[in-house]
């Protein structure tokens, strides 16, 4: 197990980027074979816009990564954090770390992105996509992505998470992000049993419905446990969903300038 985790601790940036590309290619193939809906769009133009947002996130990821080298060193040397206070099997500690990060750095911050008005204005960029597919998972305003990174770092400090656990979590969350957003049709007999533990493609689609209450459901990324515990889980027929947001100009969902300006756009009225 230790040797396995060392692979993640020493994983170079190029391998992480290759993982992102591999996951995208995998779901792109699935989208071509088993699409959920037939989007009337120019896929490469749509995906290209979303990949522009991915480039912003990659830059932030690199900068935050450089800044947090000291954080991981401090956590390791100071033995701070909940996991440093107990002696548990390595696999159990890894599971706790992944679940803590999934809860705080995914579910909690995602819930806040919907409930705190100024945070929601950043998150609207993600929801304004009217043709949800795998690349929608990469579509985050830089402010949105930076907030998520801050919550992740805070979780690392509170739980004393080592870098190998953190990288393993990031590898997992990249896969789940692309698969859950992918425009793929999974049979209910497969998707529903998986949804008792994980966020599946059918589950996450409801979160991208253009109006409430569905927009405010299914906040999880890896585990559906948090949505079930806190009453934000729904499951229905994903073909009922209309993507986008009812408070923004849907004709500008591929206008990068318009999207980046959403947080400061005072003409957009929202309850939060």
Tell whether the model's pLDDT for residue 9 goes beyond 80: no
**What is the per-residue pLDDT across 28-83, written as a single tens digit (0 to 9) for each?**
999 999 999 888 888 889 999 999 999 999 999 888 888 888 888 888 778 788 88
Q: Torsion-angle region of residue 88: left (phi > 0), alpha (psi -120 to 50) or beta? A: beta
Rounded mean pLDDT, 114-129: 94
**What is the per-residue pLDDT across 95-112, written as a single tens digit (0 to 9) for each?**
999 999 999 999 999 999
> What is the distance between the alpha carbons of residues 271 and 247, in angstroms, rounded to a whole number?
10
**What is the per-residue pLDDT across 147-206, written as a single tens digit (0 to 9) for each?**
999 999 999 999 999 999 999 999 999 999 999 999 999 999 999 999 999 999 999 999
Contact, 97 vs 169, CB < 8 A?
A: yes
Tokens 């998986």 sit at which residue?
194
- Provide, rounded to the nearest whole percent, the portion of the chain with pLDDT above 90: 70
DSSP string, 120-155: HHHHHHHHT-SS--GGGGG---HHHHHHHHHHHHHH
> What is the distance between the alpha carbons of residues 254 and 203, in angstroms, rounded to a whole number?
25
Tokens 């947001």 sit at which residue?
245
Classify 186 as helix, strand or coil.
coil
């Amino acid at each position: 197990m230790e040797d396995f985790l060392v692979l993640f601790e020493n994983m170079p940036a190029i391998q992480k980027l290759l993982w992102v590309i591999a996951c995208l290619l995998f779901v792109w193939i699935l989208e071509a074979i088993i699409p959920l809906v037939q989007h009337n769009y120019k896929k490469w133009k749509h995906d290209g816009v979303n990949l522009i947002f991915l480039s912003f996130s990659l830059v932030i990821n690199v900068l935050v990564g450089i800044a947090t080298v000291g954080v991981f060193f401090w956590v390791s040397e100071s033995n701070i954090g909940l996991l440093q206070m107990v002696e548990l099997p390595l696999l159990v500690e890894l599971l706790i770390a992944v679940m803590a990060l999934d809860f705080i750095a995914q579910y909690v911050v995602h819930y806040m992105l919907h409930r705190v008005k100024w945070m929601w204005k950043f998150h609207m960029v993600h929801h304004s996509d009217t043709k949800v597919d795998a690349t929608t998972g990469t579509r985050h305003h830089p402010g949105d992505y930076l907030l998520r990174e801050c919550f992740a770092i805070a979780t690392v400090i509170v739980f004393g998470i080592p870098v190998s656990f953190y990288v393993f979590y990031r590898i997992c969350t990249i896969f789940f992000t692309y698969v859950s957003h992918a425009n793929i049709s999974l049979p209910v007999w497969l998707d529903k049993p998986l949804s008792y533990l994980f966020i599946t493609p059918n589950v996450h689609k409801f979160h991208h419905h253009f109006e409430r209450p569905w927009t405010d459901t299914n906040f999880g990324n890896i585990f559906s446990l948090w949505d079930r515990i806190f009453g934000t889980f729904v499951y229905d027929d994903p073909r009922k969903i209309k993507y986008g947001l009812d408070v923004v100009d849907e004709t500008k969902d591929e206008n990068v300038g318009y999207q980046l300006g959403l947080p400061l756009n005072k003409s957009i009225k929202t309850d939060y």
